[in-house]
């Protein structure tokens, strides 16, 4: 669905701040050092306000398009910058080409894995996001194909692959194929999204009452 895709980049949040300031980056804006008791009280009140409803604020900021829909009550899934949300996963297509092993390491460096296809709809989604052959998380050892998460390859769902002692899986157009693992292709990484918890009625009331 069009409203399902949400992007977020939290990696650079707080750049330039000290470690202590970064710990409070979601609690409120940086303020000058207090020069009087009234000013200090005002700052504390403002900080306490933002601490009471951080989830509500994040939901409104990152999930604005979903705020008035039933989806908001179920929480909001966020993906890092350059990743795209689809269903229950975040996906990233590499910009460079490399071997299957290079793709696997790159995904691991991004705390993810080469994509493991669970059904034909997921395969269709990946196919529609790229025009070229891409590495996926499928590898053959001793003529047996398995996914990188050590689950079996479902030949009934995706069709049989050539039995080879050693090979790596690709998605080419609508077809899964084996290739030599030193081939040069782009790859698709997959990871779980960050889940903002559901917003309760009390959170919404607090947020609206304090605006």
183 and 145 belong to one structural domain:
yes
32 and 110 belong to one structural domain:
no
What's residue 41's pLDDT?
Answer: 57
Q: At residue 193, does pLDDT exceed 60?
A: yes
Backbone angles phi, psi at 207, to 5 degrees: -65, -45
**d(C-alpha 46, C-alpha 7), whole Å:** 28
Which candidate, 112, 89, 113, 115, places its Cα nearest to that of 169? 115
**What does the mean pLDDT of the chain come to?**
74
26 and 69 belong to one structural domain:
yes
The mean pLDDT of 148-152, rounded to a whole number, is 95
What's residue 53's pLDDT?
Answer: 59
202 and 164 belong to one structural domain:
no
Cβ-count burial 87-116 (b if 16+ within 10 Å, e if not): eebbbbbbeebbbbebbbebbeebebbbbb
How do residues 33-55 score in pLDDT, each as one tens digit?
A: 444 445 555 555 555 554 555 66
The mean pLDDT of 175-186, rounded to a whole number, is 95
**How many domains does the chain contain in total?**
2
* Domain-embedded: residue 83: no
* Domain-embedded: residue 143: yes
Write the CATH number for 107: 3.10.100.10
Kindly report the pTM of this predicted structure: 0.65
198 and 186 belong to one structural domain:
no
187 and 203 belong to one structural domain:
no
Q: At residue 155, does pLDDT exceed 80?
A: yes
Question: Which domain, by its residues, includes 138?
Answer: 90-191
The mean pLDDT of 158-163, rounded to a whole number, is 90
130 and 69 belong to one structural domain:
no
Q: At residue 12, does pLDDT exceed 60?
A: no
Is 8 or 183 the better-scoring residue by pLDDT?
183
* Domain-embedded: residue 50: yes
How do residues 43-98 score in pLDDT, each as one tens digit?
A: 555 555 545 556 666 666 666 555 455 444 456 888 999 999 998 899 999 999 99
30 and 107 belong to one structural domain:
no
* Domain-embedded: residue 186: yes
Return the C-alpha torsion angle 31, 54, 84, 180, nearest 10. 90
* Domain-embedded: residue 200: yes
The mean pLDDT of 166-182, rounded to a whole number, is 93
16 and 65 belong to one structural domain:
yes
106 and 43 belong to one structural domain:
no
175 and 206 belong to one structural domain:
no
* Domain-embedded: residue 85: no
116 and 155 belong to one structural domain:
yes
The mean pLDDT of 155-167, rounded to a whole number, is 90
**d(C-alpha 164, C-alpha 115), whole Å:** 21
């Amino acid at each position: 669905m069009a409203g399902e895709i949400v992007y977020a980049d939290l990696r650079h949040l707080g750049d330039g701040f000290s470690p202590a300031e970064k710990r409070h980056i979601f609690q409120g804006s940086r303020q000058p050092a207090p020069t009087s008791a009234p000013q200090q009280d005002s700052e504390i009140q403002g900080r306490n306000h933002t601490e009471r409803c951080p989830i509500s604020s994040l939901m409104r900021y990152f999930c604005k398009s979903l705020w008035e829909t039933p989806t908001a009550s179920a929480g909001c899934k966020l993906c890092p910058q350059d990743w795209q949300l689809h269903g229950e996963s975040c996906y990233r297509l590499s910009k460079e080409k490399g071997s299957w092993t290079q793709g696997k390491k790159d995904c691991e460096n991004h705390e993810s894995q080469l994509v493991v296809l669970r059904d034909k709809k997921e395969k269709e989604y990946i196919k529609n996001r790229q025009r070229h052959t891409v590495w996926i998380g499928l590898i053959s050892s001793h003529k047996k194909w398995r996914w990188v998460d050590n689950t079996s390859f479902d030949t009934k769902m995706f069709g049989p692959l050539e039995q080879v002692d050693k090979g790596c899986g690709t998605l080419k157009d609508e077809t899964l194929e084996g290739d030599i693992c030193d081939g040069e292709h782009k790859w698709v990484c997959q990871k779980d999204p960050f889940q903002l918890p559901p917003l309760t009625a009390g959170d919404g009331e607090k947020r609206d009452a304090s605006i």
